[in-house]
Structure 1
Amino acid sequence: MGSPCTARDEGLHETVARLAAARPGATALVAGRNTMTYAELDRTADAWAARLAMAGVAPGDRVSVLLPRSTELVVALLAVLKAGAAYALLDPAWPERRLREVTAQLGSPVVVARRGTGTGLGRPVWTPPAGAVAPVAGFHPAAVGGSDPCCVFFTSGTTGEPKGVVSPHRATARLFQAGGFARFDTGAVVPLAAPMSWDAFSLELWSMLLNGGASLIVDEPYLSAASLREAVSAHGVRTVWLTGSLFNMIVDEAVEAFDGLHQVMIGGERLSTGHVGRFLRRHPRATLINGYGPVESTVFATTHRVTEADCARPGGIPIGRPVPGTGVHVLDGSRPCAVGEVGEICVSGDGLALGYLGDAELTAAKFAHVSIDGEPLRVYRTGDLGAWDAGGLLHYRGRDDRQVKIRGHRVEPAEVERQVERLLPAVRACRVLARRDASGAARDLVAFCVPADPGDPLDGALAVLRDDLVPYQRPGALVSVAAFPMTERGKLDEPALLALAPAPAAPPAPAPTPAGTARLVAEVFAEVLGRDGVPADVPFVELGGDSLGAGRVCARLTARLGRPVPVSWLYRDPTPAALAHRLDTTTPQEADTHTAEDMDAETPLTSMQLVYLTRHLVDPFDRTAHCLLTWLIEGAPDRAALEAAIAEVHRRHEPLRAAYVPDPRPVAWPVDVPPPALTALPAQPTPEAAATALRKELARGLEPMDGDVWRTALVPIGDGASTLFGCAVHHIAFDGWSEAVLAHDLSAAYNTAGPLEEAPSMAAVHREHAERLRQDDRAAHLDHLRAELTDVPPLRWPPGATETPPVEPRHIEVPLSPAVVAGVDALAAGAGATRFGALLALYGACLAEVTGQDDLAVGVPVDQRHGRGLERSVGCHITTLCVRLRGAALGGGPAAVAATGRVAARAFAAQDVPLDDVLRLAEAADGSPLYRTLFALQDNAVPRLALTGARTTFLRQPYVSLPLDLHAELWPDEHGGMALVVSYRPEAVPEAAARELAKRFADRLRTVPAESGGTEAGTPESAR
């Protein structure tokens, strides 16, 4: 088999290190056009492991990893193992609540995540270094045994909480021994495409890295027919793993996509004999392997090489014989069952997990000790039923509990029921059942709910569940019932309950039939969805499509157009019209090749926009980029006029109707997405209750990759004499200056009901900014920043932060009178500085006192509206500077103000150096952020909403979430005073420290001597 003979009692990273020493130049990882050799992989992982150890990771720890499928993800996993710890891969698609639950269970010393992400998980974030990293002298990878923890997989649990399954190194290594169930040759290539939180991800990755092969990192959501063809033709892939559902979809849509493969491994669900038969008849020389195994036995417990004869077996295709290092037993209690007798499938051997994380009672119950033929064994009781046949093959016979598989994911209906009851206070009791397709496979879930108040229709409940449940646990329908029907024996009557489930909703009425590519795309949508027709402007998912349906759409379009149509294109352009436009305006060459029209329409993302997009990709439930605006309207607004105004503002400003996508290169382009609906929420009795309801609505997720970047809603108060109106806009399309622009344009469109003047296009803004950069002395600025920001010490807050983060950050607000502002201006004038410089100097002094540090880095947001017409444009035109305060800048008095002014002026001069370049220049040795606190003088205009016939008041809302530990902001008011607002994350900053900082800063501002005759020297541009 070409295996390096993985040792049973060594760590996976030690096997990789031996391979790197023996074959240093062999390719280990392939990502697009980039490759990494075994020597590079091992050397980089060593350097990262040393830095993880410096950040507090110790042998025996469990480390959360929240990274997209990428080269850096693989290096990070290897680095965690080299540090002697176990890794837990978290899925960025999980809701924020689940991510927090899982991270808390793990007790991770750090969360490995890209810069700006993972900050809300209650643990310090360790960011992988960018570029080449120097080795750390004296560091040696940890030596571990085969029984030491290697990884933690999370799966569904009946208690309502996810279960952490702790798997040792030997459990993975056992799968790839000589004479095993499949060939994993040196030099082979296997796609890395499984969901990262699955144990199948381990099969794909370690089958190569423990055998000298190459892992091909797939950047599509899953291995579609198109990406499979590409993997085979361009990279020589001969072995793949697929879920049963995905296998069926490719057989149906493009069975020829399997051409060139030698081995196909499938599993996770009961196999369809019809699909298996069609595959084997089309590919008679390919080896088809059916794999079975719960995550508690790590990937596979049994496998079977499927033949056409298996398709005729009355009991279905066998699940086979045990894999190496594994024992499989069919038991009735502790008694082995005879041939043909149905019993519980139990697994023993090296593949068993060490147990459930933090749950000794469940571990003891599920990992039992039994005596078989006089030999004591530790077995995992799977809950699956099976029987041996006379030929020694194991056959699956169903479950002895309620567990089901949804698209390859193991789901406990009891967990979903408990989460529904917890998330929906209006639900008194819930029962969840699976709807099945013609083959008997579970298609989706239906939640049947008894409301606390009889007759409550539970409006909006599905939207709540979509935000908080992982995708495969989300019910496809929610049915309100007065009571659960029972059988004569007092058990739940499941058929009667399922009969109450609604038929799939009819799609919206189709639009007039389009022509050309748009017609073809609409026809394929309708075919896959089983509809007579579909509208051109409704996303695939809203029409009832799912991820596998998306694969079918793209496979059929690939076949009919004779060119690749990646699934990721449908994810970015989810409507028939948008996907057709992409197909009509994109060449069939590789993904990074564009037509001239595409190049002109696309606008490269700025460094700050890329930060916001990366956070979203890694954590779709991140809310640090939500910008909220709220107005109190006294008098009833004209809803139709307000909806028309929203639509006109949406039309005028391209950033509000653009898609922001990461690949093939990070760009934005205008797309034909409808304006956000004006959501009318139920009336609330008080302004406080209305604000809470509005905030909850505005805090729901936005999807910038789909052009979903803003949302609007209103809430009547009491009898409707006043209303709260609000917007949420994603920061990738918005900044502090944009607030007043948006309010002005909404007012103008509401009051005149006419079109607004055109705003500059994103492409025009980019060209003007690029011209400015060409005239800038980038080299000199880089040299200054390198000298200024090297060896910045990490900011250390006093101890006492809470262990578990709250849902939202906390805020402290202190009013400052006009006299205080006058005193600051006089101090600034006397020192030859600006108001901002004086404020920053005073803040730095207070921060030094609270933290006890005399060398500080502070983030400062800066406005970059340099182009013509940008003062009237909505968009993200900011960057963040890092200002380092030390020495004279922290000395106090006018001298400190003058010194701070000089440091800030140098930072402002280098503001056009992209933020990612700055961060790379100053990468901390331990991977910690360059700065943890932000300071801003928010001197933007107040966003006034003027609506004819109504009186409005702007109400500034606290942030939903923070990207940094603490933000200190000063907001000028209309009377010459200011409001100091300190926002902080309690999991990072103790409440006492935040309050002390706010008090010291306010006190220092109030005691600044007011020197008469001073004039302000100018105010730097700042932004939210």
Structure 2
Amino acid sequence: MTSLHAAVRRHAEARPGATALVSGARSVGYGELDRRADAWAESLARQGVGPGELVPVLLPRGVDLVVAVLAILKLGSAYAVLDAGWPEQRIREIVEDLDARLIVAGPGSAGVPTGMPVWSVADAPAGLPGPATGFRPADVQETAPACVFFTSGTTGRPKGVVVPHRALSRLVRPGTFARFAEDTVMPMAAALPWDMFSFELWGALLRGGTALIIGEPYLSAQALREGVTAHGVNTVWLTSSLFNMIVDEDPDAFAGLTQLMIGGERLSVPHVRAFLRRHPGVTLLNGYGPAENTALSTTHRIVEGDCDRSGGIPVGRPVPGTRIHLLDGEICVSGEGLALRYLGDPELTAARFPEVTVDGRTVRVYRTGDLGEFDDEGVLHYRGRVDRQVKIRGHRVEPAEVERQIERLLPAVRHCRVVARRDDEGVVEALLAYCVPHVPGDALETAAGELRAALVHYQRPEAVISVPSFPVTGRGKLDERALLELARAHAAPAESWDLPDPSGTEEDPDVRRVARVFAGVLGVDTVPPDLTFTELGGTSLGAGRVCARLSTELRRPVPLTRMYEHATARALAAWLRDTAGTEHTDDGTAPDGDVPLTPMQSVYLTRHLLDPDDRSAHCLLLWTVAGELDLDALEAAVGDVHRRHEVLGSAYLLDPEPVCRPVDAPGPVLEVLAAAPNRESAVELLRETLAEPLEITEGDVWRTVLVPLDGASPTSGHVLGCVVHHIAFDGGSESILAADLAEAYGERVRTGQASARPKAPTAAMTHRLRTDRLALADVDSQRQWLIEELTGVPEVNWPGFPATGGKVPPGRCEVILERESVARLDRAAARFGVTRFTLLLSRYGRLLADLTGGEDFAVGIPASQRQDGDLESAVGCHIDMACIRLRGAALGADPEAVAATARIVDRSFAAQDLAFDEVVRLVNPPRTGRAPLFQTLFVLQDNPVPELPLDGLTTEFVRPRYLEVPLEVQTEVWPLADGRLRLVVNHRPDAVSHDVAHSLVKGLAELLRTIPSGDRS
């Protein structure tokens, strides 16, 4: 075994591109995860964090949390993940117990108690360090502290359990209780401070698998279903309560799993039996173990025969590195999973982790407080507790801790006793707090609300009941049975609610539907539509049941997070109505929110799927920026632009037909790299960084990167770059994106708020515009003409031999055409009665004929599809390809050549309603391994220059070289601001030599310079 971070480093070195984390539309490879954690570790080290420290982390479940945890481990420290939803006092006490130098927190430091030092991820290095930064992770022993879990304690203060690296790594070693491997995909959904969160994380990463980060409060049925279908989830851990809920509400959500682990509470035999009969091929494991022995101590593979055991389903046999001992009936555990100590409590550590003699050997054990017995086969069975401790949805709760907190928090309470309410299976459903007030008769009406804000969610009592005294049994013990009967008598019936519509005559049918589901889950006849589910007595698992039932009824997903945001029946009904048709369905049909891709987008998607390393679709934009740049405003502006243009926040999928699917994911983070010595170095650094893959199938469509120029103050300058995948971008999008980014930046600088501009046209709107246009077109005649025109086009035969073999960066040759020559060109075009483009194409065709000896060939021309004015403000891929076949008179040297070229251009552009990929299918050219129909593009790049007028700054656009080009030769003509033209030939060196490319650009310039100004020769 080894340290946790060393295991991740090994995977990063062996398989850097393998997916370690998936969060929404974002995927993070092992290489990126490891290098980013290195960068964060270096930053934390500069804050004084070092070996042996205990570092609290207050971040939501996400990629940043995993990076932070790994960075802390790399410094030889241990992490303690806290919950931002905890009361401030609890967080303050825990940080004090940790004796922490600082708290790792998110932007804004939500949940951090006032006055505590913070290292914010907003200040973390945005870029990835190079392979040789000098940082070396700490070389720690497997017995060194790795993490701290906080559990309930009888004193009223949580206990910190410090566990070593080996305690977690022992669980996933080869031959363990379940299969953990490179193909393991496991949701990371457990409560963050819980030991099972670390089990989910390291269960995936230690064996090179993938952790799917769940954005909902827990793994709902819908999230499970989507995880299996969209990401290949195959291994899952669930608490027994959550398992029961999914079995009840959506049992088919488990389909596709290979192994499922459940536990944390006593198992429900009816639910287990129902699962086994529905999913006989899924391995079902019962897991048992306290945090003091790190996640799991025993497991048992459940078979249907276990459901008939009189004592319930067993908890099984020890996991690797663990031994079980029964000392006077109490389950005691020993081995590699044991915690090192309780934090700051040596007396409790000595009492709960004593050394005992077993089989003549001295063994350090943990006394669990659980009772158990072995059956004849050596299988362990759980038989209850020796104390009052209970489990609520997997969380360990000491009623004494809750009692002490209530007595401290409520001055009106003299004494408190907490009793667990259980279901028919003996599983704890809720806590009930019985309080004796200082003033007899005080009903403590506000107590529940005060405790809701002050206690962690799993310690909050379902009800606070005022009693004059506590009833006792004949033996003088607390009479819990009598208290539970008293609670039933105090339960508020549904009739006591102030129902605005008690007769059920609510007019809105959507509200009636949701209210009916609320009532069904709550077990009442009717509910008021304007009280929250929680106010009505609903629990978090009850909310999951509501979502599952609505999903089934409406045949669309209802995410748990949406119910928390729209917590009343009326609000949730309004959200369901407003979003109808925009969510994914789960019945195998195409989701209503999916939009078919345009033919050109389908080409880009296919190319990406066949060759993920292809960079010919990477569209790069660079600007130099001089002045005092507001980085926060710029990053916020990037997010504003991302939200305005739906195509930038969509996934592009083959599902089964090519579609665009909007995803709920944040925009790209503005990455800030290390300073470069000058502009040229910054540009090259940006080209290298922006060449990293874009995963368009997961919504990773664009990226922004900033490089400071070395030397100085914030005013010395930067170079800003962004890359957008061509599937969501074209030449016309450059100035749109730049203008929107500048406007958003200005608004952020001036007001700190997002611009109020409306959203750009969505993919669905664009699709409708295109569909409407095609409905009016005479596609049949266009199809017939294109078949006749393009059948039998020969390929271009370039002279000479390729300069190199294999995939290499494109070559580039360029010449500037002076203003005088440009003026002569335009005058000649006017005399011919053609556009500048047509005359340029005519001369290019003549040049190709002379250079290659060909008398018949085709040239590809990108053609704008922005015919509708609504698309003028829309970023997107609004282009297709026109195929211009040049032959006969069009290749001549006389004036008729220009006229012939003009005729073929006009006819070809008039047939643009038929997509180019359909043309290729119709013509069916021979498959030679080269691009079909044409091997060269000719482009007049006359789109507006993407100016970036940032408030208070001076900017200049820089046109970078392409990373790759899609065809063998891409010839471009770029109009310059001073009236000149830049002629550029980009070429693939594996197909066209530099000499040929140079001859092309030089020959084109010469032809254009020699166009007569006074006649048509």
Q: Residue 499 of structure 2 is aligned with which of 506, 509, 514?
A: 509
Partner of 1:412: 398
Deviations 1:310-368 (A, max 9, x none): 01101000000000000011111xxxxxxxxxx10000000000010000000000001
Provide the rounded CA distance (Å) in 2 between the counterparts of 1:60 and 1:663: 41
Hey, what's the Cα distance between the residues in 1 that align with 2:436 and 2:178? 50
Give the aligned partner of residue 478 of structure 1.
464
Unaligned runs of 5+ in 2: 586-590, 595-630, 640-661, 668-703, 719-747, 757-948, 956-1017
Measured in 2, the distance between the counterparts of 1:548 and 1:248 equals 10
| 1:890-917 deviation digits (Å, cap 9, x = unpaired) | xxxxxxxxxxxxxxxxx9965999xxxx
Counterpart AA for 2:149: F
Q: CA deviation at 1:245?
A: 0.4
Question: Which residue does 2:383 correspond to in 1?
Answer: 397
- Residues 320-359 of structure 1: pairs in structure 2 closer than 5 A: 320-332=316-328, 343-359=329-345
**Within 2, Cα distance between the matches of 1:780 and 1:178?**
44
Normalised by the length of structure 1, the TM-score is 0.58
Answer yes or no: is the 8 Å Cα contact 1:432–1:446 preserved in 2: yes
1:464-543 equivalent positions in 2, closer than 5 A: 464-501=450-487, 502-506=490-494, 507-509=497-499, 511=501, 512-543=505-536
> In the TM superposition, what is the alpha-carbon distance from 1:516 to its structure 2 partner?
3.4
CA, structure 1 residues 289+514, in 2 after alignment: closer, same or farther (shift >3 Å)? farther
Structure 2 counterpart of 1:589, one-letter code: E
Correspondence 1:132 to 2:127 = yes
What secondary structure sits across from 2:193 in the alignment? coil
Question: Per the alignment, in what secondary structure is the counterpart of residue 208 of structure 2?
Answer: coil
2:51 pairs with 1:51:
no
Q: Distance in 2 between matches of 1:414 and 1:791?
A: 61
Alignment partner of 1:565 out of 558, 568, 584: 558
Output aligned runs, 1:230-241, within 5 Å.
230-241=226-237
Q: Distance in 2 between matches of 1:156 and 1:231?
A: 32
Question: What is the CA distance between 1:781 and its match in structure 2?
Answer: 15
Q: What letter corresponds to residue 38 of structure 2 in structure 1?
A: D
Residues in 2 aligned to 1:353 and 1:188: alpha-carbon distance in whole angstroms:
27
**Code of the aligned partner of 1:435:** R
Query: Secondary structure of the residue that 1:472 maps to in structure 2?
Result: helix
Counterpart position of 2:664: 664
Within 1, Cα distance between the matches of 2:283 and 2:449?
44
Matched, 1:123 2:116: yes
Cα distance in 1 for residues equivalent to 2:714 and 2:635? 24
Pairing 1:13–2:5 present: yes
User: Take 1:420 and 1:57, find their aligned partners in 2: how far apart are those partners?
Assistant: 36
Amino acid at match of 2:664: P
Write the letter of the residue equivalent to 1:418: R
TM-aligned CA deviation for residue 865 of structure 1: 9.7
Q: Deviations over 1:363-405 (max 9, x none)?
A: 0000011001101100000000001000111000000100011
Distance 1:513 1:24, change over 3 A: same
| Equivalent in 303, 307, 318 of residue 307 of structure 1 | 303
CA contact (8 A) 2:556 2:584 kept: no
Contact 2:338-2:366 within 8 A present in 1 as well: yes
AA paired with 2:443? P
Deviation at 1:205, TM superposition (A): 0.8
The match for 2:418 among 419, 425, 432 is 432
Residue 499 of structure 1 deviates from its aligned partner by 2.2
Letter in structure 1 aligned against 2:55: V
In the alignment, the residues of structure 1 paired with residue 755 and residue 79 of structure 2 have an alpha-carbon distance, to the nearest angstrom, of 47
* Separation of aligned partners in 2, 1:162 and 1:101: 9
Q: Structure 1: how far apart are the matches of 2:456 and 2:717?
A: 41
CA–CA distance in 2 between the matches of 1:74 and 1:445? Answer: 33
| Preserved contact between residue 510 and residue 534 of structure 1 (Cα < 8 Å) | no
2:20 pairs with 1:28: yes
- Partner residue of 2:83? 91
Residues 779 and 18 of structure 1: is their aligned pair in 2 closer, same or farther, counting only changes over 3 Å? closer
For residue 103 of structure 2, the aligned residue among 93, 104, 111 is 111
Partner of 1:283: 279
Q: Which has the higher relative contact order, 1 or 2, with Cα contacts under 8 A spaced 6 or more apart?
A: 1
Percent identity, aligned pairs only?
57
With over 3 angstroms needed to count, the CA separation of the structure-2 counterparts of 1:124 and 1:379, relative to structure 1, is same
How far, CA to CA, are the matches of 1:298 and 1:169 in structure 2?
A: 10
| Cα deviation code 1:595-644 (max 9, x no counterpart) | 89xxxxxxxxx989999xx9xxxxxxxxxxxxxxxxxxxxxxxxxxxxxx
Question: How far does residue 539 in structure 1 lie from its aligned partner after superposition?
Answer: 1.3
Q: Match for residue 73 of structure 1? A: 65
Following TM superposition, by how much is the alpha carbon of 1:787 offset from its aligned partner in structure 2, in angstroms? 4.4
Structure 2 CA distance for partners of 1:439 and 1:389, relative to 1, 3 Å: same
Distance change (3 Å), C-alpha of 1:504 and 1:132: farther
In structure 1, the gaps of 5 or more residues are 1-6, 333-342, 597-605, 615-661, 668-777, 793-859, 869-906, 914-1024
TM-score after normalising by structure 2: 0.58
- Cα offset for 1:438? 2.1
Question: Which one-letter code corresponds to 2:564 in the other structure?
Answer: Y
Q: What are the superposed Cα offsets for residues 733-788 of structure 1, whole Å, 9 maximum, x if unpaired?
A: xxxxxxxxxxxxxxxxxxxxxxxxxxxxxxxxxxxxxxxxxxxxx99999999942
- Paired residue secondary structure (1:30): strand
Over 3 Å counting, the alpha-carbon distance change for 1:911 and 1:388 in structure 2 is: farther
2:292·2:366 contact (CA, 8 Å) conserved in 1?
yes
Counterpart code for 1:478: V
Answer yes or no: is the 8 Å Cα contact 2:40–2:125 preserved in 1: no
Aligned length: 623
Among 164, 167, 183, the alignment partner of 1:171 is 167
Is the 1:103–1:121 contact (alpha carbons within 8 Å) kept by the matching residues of 2?
A: no
C-alpha RMSD over aligned residues: 3.4
Aligned residue number for residue 991 of structure 2 = none
Q: Pick the aligned partner of 1:272 from 268, 275, 280.
A: 268
Cα pair distance change 1:158/1:286, threshold 3 Å? same
Structure 2 vs 1, CA of residues 785 and 231 (structure 1 numbering), >3 Å: closer, same or farther? farther
- Among 302, 312, 316, the alignment partner of 1:316 is 312
Secondary structure of 1:431 counterpart: strand
What does the per-residue CA deviation read over 1:837-886, in whole Å, with 9 as the maximum and x for residues that have no partner?
Answer: xxxxxxxxxxxxxxxxxxxxxxx997579999xxxxxxxxxxxxxxxxxx
Indicate if the aligned counterparts of 1:558 and 1:565 stay in contact, CA closer than 8 A: yes
CA contact (8 A) 1:536 1:577 kept: yes
Is the Cα–Cα contact under 8 Å of residues 100 and 122 in structure 1 kept in the other structure?
Answer: no
- State whether residues 320 and 394 of structure 1, in contact with CA within 8 Å, keep that contact through their aligned partners in structure 2: yes
Over 3 Å counting, the alpha-carbon distance change for 1:861 and 1:585 in structure 2 is: closer
Determine helix, strand or coil for the equivalent of 1:266.
strand
How far apart are the structure 2 equivalents of 1:327 and 1:319? Answer: 14
Moved over 4 A (4+): 593-596, 606-611, 778-787, 789-792, 860-868, 907-913
Task: Give the conservation status (yes or no) of the 8 Å contact 1:564–1:588.
Answer: no
Match of 1:589 among 576, 580, 583: 583
Q: Residue 211 of structure 1 corresponds to which residue in structure 2?
A: 207
Q: Verify the 8 A CA contact 1:448 1:479 in the aligned structure 2.
A: yes
Q: Which residue of 2 aligns with 1:788?
A: 714
**Structure 2 letter corresponding to 1:96:** E
Query: Alignment partner for residue 550 of structure 1, among 530, 543, 553?
Result: 543
* Offset of residue 432 of structure 1: 0.7
Q: Does 2:201 align with 1:227?
A: no
How has the CA–CA distance of structure 1 residues 149 and 865 changed in structure 2, closer, same or farther, with 3 Å as cutoff? closer
Report the Cα offset of residue 526 of structure 1: 1.2
